[in-house]
Amino acid sequence: MARHGACAGWHPVLSSPANGIDPADPTAAGGDAFDLHDLADGGITHVKYVRIVDKTSESCPASGPGPTKNGFDLDAVVIVNAETP
């Protein structure tokens, strides 16, 4: 699993509705897995929210009106083990 603070976007996502690969199986689904359990070493045992921040500062190429910065495209987030209220 990737460590907290690591960059995402390095591994292809293999799961899709068409191929039957379970998106909640991090070993089969592909993508970049982040295990919040790794934070337990720092005393964190529960999280309520996860903020996903694009750190891109590269300007977009001149291609007419549109965004002024390149950014990532978030396809999906899957929570594998969640504590229910």
Q: Give the pLDDT confidence score for residue 12 in this predicted structure.
A: 85
Q: Kindly report the pTM of this predicted structure.
A: 0.56
What's the total number of domains in the chain? 1
pLDDT digits (tens, 9 = 90+) for 19-35: 999 988 988 998 888 88
Half-sphere exposure of residue 25, counting CA atoms within 13 Å on the CB side? 9
Higher pLDDT, 56 or 18: 18
Q: Is-contact 9 72, C-beta < 8 A?
A: yes
Predicted confidence (pLDDT) per residue in 45-81, tens digit? 888 888 887 776 666 666 566 656 666 777 778 888 8
Which domain range does residue 83 map to? 1-85
